[in-house]
A and B are shown apart, each in its own frame.
Chain A
Amino acid sequence: MTEGATLRAGDWRGTIMLVVGVVAVWQVLYAVVGDVALRSPLETVEYTASLLGRDSFWPHLAETAEAFAVALVIATALGLALGFALGFHRLAGDVLEPVLVAIYSVPKLTLYPIVLLAFGLGMPAKIAFGVIHGFVPIALFTIGAVQNVKPVLIKTGRVLGFGWRDMVVHVLFPAALPEIFTGLRIGFALTLIGTLLGEMFASQRGLGYMLMNAIGLHNVDVIMAVTFLITVFAAVVSSILIVVDRRLHRG
């Protein structure tokens, strides 16, 4: 436990050093490159604040948030369902796990035209794109987690006459939770990336659209501010998830 405690104190120190380091590198880069392509950290924060104060900005944020939330729910449900089914049935897992690994390693951005042709322009396509990115790691980690559950626990469940639902709720899920959570953490990140990429191409609203539009207009202020917002959001949420993740693995 003492090791864990020092690890946590060290985490904070590491994070602070990292933030200071990133800001320093950013400032130096700005000094080298200049106003054509970059804004300084201070200018970016100021512009982001002014962006957040504008009424025209919030619908974009709401659109992205909605698409991301729906995609995350679907990716999680699909990933968990697939993961439990394939983790529990050895043969089905052996057959389909490599297929999931293959999907995981493929540049999914190229599938975008197909998604668009199938779902049309707008919300459903964004959600579908987020789901495609997010469900695979959740499923893969869940398969691994379920397969690694100690056989004695499953046998105990069998002896108690558990059906598959009781087995999942009372045995598999609690035992596999730490691993599954790691999958959810990675699934969260990839769903966010997928949703944003989706917005960059076929959308008239959302942060991804703002980014793409700003590239076309060469509006460095907006590019920096939106990139900054997305990065901070992703980094903060994922740091929180990592802390939870470590607690679960330790417990």
Chain B
Amino acid sequence: MSRALFLRCLLILAAVAVLEALCRAGVIDRFTMPPPSRIFADLVRLLIAGQLYGAIAKTMANSLIAFALSVVAGLAAGVLIHKFRLLREALDPLFATYYAIPVFAFYPLLIILFGLGDIPQIAIAFMLAVIAMIVNTLNGIDRVPAVLIKTARMARMSPVETALTMTLPYAAPHLLTGMKLALAYALIGIIGSEFIMSRGGMGFEIAFAYTNFDNAVMYPLIVLILVISIAINACIGVWEKRILARRGLR
């Protein structure tokens, strides 16, 4: 596996080098894209100057709010939906087709409803993230073996105790997958809606820089967003692997 990791890094470095060469040679003109070394230098300069900290903080705060809301609501809804068979029957087709529906199409409606503040963005991010959490919670609870529930019943555990000692620990890997997806979707929702229409945040700054042909801000910001979302996903991925490894599942 470490060989694959090494090759992967090599490949990415090579790709960046090729891009650098193409930019320097003028095959890609500098109005389209500055060379990667320049983007990196611009990124460092922007981070030192600190002019974008407000935008970064806003995006991160809103993403975290949307993420937290969707995990709590998703977990609660998942447990509830699992309890009521009829509700589940009605909602299953919704879950199955949900991600085929372009949720961003509802953003205009939300702006009209709530105004151009943070709420429509958080709502979009929540709408994207919560379903992933619900589906994975249901998946997790479904896989809890009946024997565990029976054991809990024999030990006369209360429903809360059963949930805390049996259901939730057993479903943990699925819940974690749900959280991973929810976080990715929260970021996509916030940054995407900022980009479409908003008054601030990283997505807004990219759109603003783009309309002003300000490549010195746009490219570093795009790179920053990519790095942040990839880093977050990698962290949760490592955590997930550890949980699975502890159970000998992988």
Contacts and interface: CB of A to CB of B under 8 A. Distances in A.
Interface of A: 10-11, 13-15, 17-18, 21, 33, 36-38, 91, 94-96, 98-99, 101-102, 105-114, 116-118, 186, 188-190, 192-193, 196-197, 200-201, 211, 214-215, 218, 220, 223-224, 226-227, 230-231, 234-235, 237-239, 242
A184 to B, nearest CB: 12
A200 B154 CA distance: 58
B112 A220 contact: yes
B99 A189 contact: yes
B222 interface: yes
Contact of A17 (B90, B191, B210): B90
Contacts of B99: 186, 189-190
Size category of the B interface is 35 or more
18 contacts: A14-B91, A14-B92, A15-B93, A17-B86, A18-B94, A98-B8, A105-B229, A106-B226, A110-B206, A117-B33, A193-B104, A197-B192, A200-B196, A215-B111, A227-B109, A237-B100, A239-B97, A242-B97
B109 A95 contact: no
A101 B233 contact: yes
Contacts of B94: 18
A186 B99 CA distance: 8
A95 B97 contact: no
A214 B109 CA distance: 11
Given A94-B1, A239-B93, A111 B222 contact: yes
Contacts of A11: 92-93
A196 B105 contact: yes
A94 B112 contact: no
Contact of B105 (A10, A108, A230): A230
